[in-house]
Amino acid sequence: MIAALIYVAYSGENVSGVTKMALFTAFTLAFLAAGAACLRIPRVVAAGHVFFGVGAILVPLSYVAAYTILSDQDLDPQAMWLAGSLTTAILYTSVATFGLGRHYAFSAGVALISAAAASAAVADLPIEWAPVPFLVLAVAMSASRCAGRRHARRVGQIWTAQAHAVAGASIIAAIMMALIAAPDERALDLANRWFLPAAFAVAAAYAGLFALGKRESLAGAALAAASGGAFVTVVYATSLPAEQYAIAFAAVALLFGIALPVVEKEATARRLPADAATSIHVSAIAATLAAAMAAS
């Protein structure tokens, strides 16, 4: 098989591009099939993992090979990137769920992140809106834990850790782009400013999964901060004068103050993180201080 792959790679024009791609695909499927077959035989299970692993590596590489080998077919590189990422993510997620190894779950998460980047490229999304699809992906990866116990145990835990990293990096990227464009929008050509409230809103939804679903204390604080951020950054999105930030922060502090008695009720507290009231209280104080600083 390796010899045949070398022949395909270095045969030049002696073999047509379509034939090369057909052979490459056949060898990829052969590795996967051989691995699946060996995994059923106890004596050659180790070989089965190796064969299947080689085939799994060849799956994303086959899309790279297709773009290179079929260069005369005018293939869209961004579409090939998206298709390869999605195919790889589906395959790796399936085999990880079946129990072939947690490394497949991690690789599937990486493939999903690649798919999010590819989707932004295919849609020609403005650079400032790029964090939004990654935040949506983080929500989807974390919500996938509800797909079933086996998936949650073998895939969901790893995806949750990856989703945390993606969500954190995405909201930081959105804030940094807003700060870069704040003094002079020529430094970053913005299509519009609504990307920042949108990013905070999706971040709030992400934090809500853990605050309301898992009752995690840190997620409760993140939910309060992201919700307040989504409200305040409307001032940025609508290009209002800077002094309006004082009013926006004061309004957030008032809303948190109104919500505090509701959160402290026993019926509501049972559904929220243990220190949800403390998080809202601290957030109200922080918003009040921010309003005072913005007004000064």
This prediction has a pTM of 0.85
Task: Report yes or no: 271 and 262 within 8 Å, Cβ to Cβ.
Answer: no
pLDDT tens-digit series, residues 228-253: 999 999 998 888 888 888 999 999 99
Question: Would you mind telling me the total number of residues written for the chain in this entry?
Answer: 296
Distance CA 50, CA 273 (A): 45
pLDDT tens-digit series, residues 123-138: 988 888 999 999 999 9
User: Which residue's structure tokens are 């070398």?
Assistant: 6
Distance CA 233, CA 149 (A): 39
Q: Is the pLDDT of residue 275 over 70?
A: yes
Residues with Cβ < 8 Å from 222, sequence gap 6 or more? 203, 207, 211
Look up residue 130 and give its two tokens.
Answer: 């790029």
Distance CA 197, CA 202 (A): 9
Q: Is the pLDDT of residue 185 over 70?
A: no
Task: Report yes or no: 58 and 37 within 8 Å, Cβ to Cβ.
Answer: no
Separation of CA 157 from chain center? 14
Kindly give the interhelix angle for 276-295 and 244-264, rounded to the nearest 10 degrees: 160
Percent of the chain with pLDDT over 90: 44
Residues with Cβ < 8 Å from 170, sequence gap 6 or more? 131, 132, 134, 135, 138, 199, 203
For the four alpha carbons of 184, 189, 192 and 193, in that order, the dihedral sign comes to: negative
The single-letter code of the amino acid at 253 is A
Give me the pLDDT at residue 147, please: 67
- C-alpha separations of 115 from 67, 212, 254 in Å: 17, 28, 41
SS3 content of the chain, % helix, strand, coil (to 5): 85, 0, 15
Look up residue 187 and give its two tokens.
Answer: 């430094």
Q: Is the pLDDT of residue 114 over 90?
A: yes
pLDDT grade, residue 35 (50/70/90)? very high
CA–CA–CA angle 175, 180, 183 (5° rounding): 120
Task: Report yes or no: 120 and 130 within 8 Å, Cβ to Cβ.
Answer: yes
Average pLDDT over the chain, rounded to an integer:
86
For the four alpha carbons of 132, 133, 134 and 137, in that order, the dihedral sign comes to: positive
pLDDT tens-digit series, residues 85-101: 999 999 999 999 888 88
Three-class DSSP category at 78: helix
Distance CA 102, CA 93 (A): 10
Give me the pLDDT at residue 186, please: 61
Closest Cα partner for 174 from 223, 209, 136, 221? 136
The winner for highest mean pLDDT among 106-120, 205-219, 233-247, 249-263 is: 106-120
